[in-house]
Structure 1
């Protein structure tokens, strides 16, 4: 099986780019961030998001699955497809919070590795190359400037009809970067063997083609 690990900060376009690249290469795409978002969504729903002990206790009563329909990933939480509910700014911040808890990371680790063991995958997240798939065939650290990432996210939220300002989104991006890179457990950082890929000045199509070329060059 061929495993591709793509890491990088929030809003770098990892999910969109990895999903498109996986489709073109006929790989399974695994959005690990969606798993943490599902945990955060459940924590918010049951009022546990601000209590680490409650989040840990909550893990005993949740079951998360990834299902694929024509290669498109859907996230199921206790049998319910929650894919449409886990992309809000509140859940994004919640995901950063729960992902800093060792018990949450351990809870999701086996699920991620099992998928990679049985499929050709492109898996994206924060610590895929360093922790989840340390033996991945290709490791890429995908990034863009905070301003560029905030601009992309701002446009996305406005298109969804949400009332936000660019300054608010940029503040969220910077806060998320700080949380992800300074947490004690699996902080966001490039693996020593990761290929650094900057998409700040690239369109989506250019970014996808760029990532595919990096993958193809390194699996020959």
Structure 2
């Protein structure tokens, strides 16, 4: 069984996906966490910056996603984590720099191809709930159930601002709206796997959930 939950940044898809996975006792895959983990690895192990990461070399992607180095885990406490070279880096993956890096590598076809393979290996032996931006449209177009969560830009910016505050990062609401809007622009207009409502998906407005 495959359940996909797509949507823009801070639409609530991860919260819902975790809850569904926990209720059904399914394996949860946070595709965004994997993209952010790879962005972090490329920046810290291969020296990429926000200016260069969109044109990452395939050899560096393969090296960083090597299962001996890069591990995605999901445990019974409903937590997804990235372990990089034996160190849990999950706490660092919500920073603005890593978030921007993840969005930028998401425009790279080579990156998407290798992450798709990585995720398909994870999904091979599990019933899964997966969230992201193209899970129901590209990764698993034949998924058993597809959902698309959305919310207003203001609501999503407020959620993202709150999340940053929990990381001790002081982001104004105006900044949060600007960052959220820019992310939406990149995700919806990228040439490869743009953010869109998957065919056959149930659309849910999460603004007031």
Q: TM-score, normalised by structure 1?
A: 0.86
Instruction: Report if aligned partners of 2:5, 2:129 keep a CA contact under 8 Å in 1.
Output: yes
Q: CA–CA distance in 2 between the matches of 1:78 and 1:130?
A: 32
Partner of 1:207: none
Partner of 1:169: 176
CA RMSD of aligned residues (A): 1.5
1:6-155 equivalence runs, <5 A: 6-45=5-44, 46-49=46-49, 50-51=51-52, 52-62=54-64, 63=66, 64-70=70-76, 71-155=78-162
> Is the aligned partner of 1:200 residue 2:207?
yes
> Is the aligned partner of 1:189 residue 2:191?
no
TM superposition shift of 1:53: 4.1
How many residues align? The count is 201
Q: CA–CA distance in 2 between the matches of 1:149 and 1:55?
A: 33
List gaps (5 residues or longer) in structure 2: none
Moved more, 48-57 or 130-139: 48-57
TM superposition shift of 1:27: 1.1
Q: CA–CA distance in 2 between the matches of 1:105 and 1:88?
A: 21
Q: Deviations over 1:91-127 (max 9, x none)?
A: 1111000111011111111121222231111100010
TM superposition shift of 1:54: 3.9
| Secondary structure at the counterpart of residue 185 of structure 1 | coil
TM superposition shift of 1:175: 0.2
Are residues 124 and 115 of structure 1, via their aligned partners in 2, closer, same or farther at CA, if it must alter by over 3 Å? Answer: same
Q: Deviations over 1:140-194 (max 9, x none)?
A: 0111111000111112222332121000011000000000000011000011211
| Secondary structure at the counterpart of residue 118 of structure 1 | coil
Are residues 48 and 135 of structure 1, via their aligned partners in 2, closer, same or farther at CA, if it must alter by over 3 Å? Answer: same
The structure in which a higher percent of residues are helix is: 1
Moved more, 18-27 or 69-78: 69-78
| Secondary structure at the counterpart of residue 103 of structure 1 | helix
Q: CA–CA distance in 1 between the matches of 2:102 and 2:199?
A: 26
Instruction: Report if aligned partners of 2:62, 2:114 keep a CA contact under 8 Å in 1.
Output: no
List gaps (5 residues or longer) in structure 1: 203-220
Q: CA–CA distance in 1 between the matches of 2:75 and 2:39?
A: 24
Moved more, 53-62 or 184-193: 53-62
TM superposition shift of 1:197: 0.8
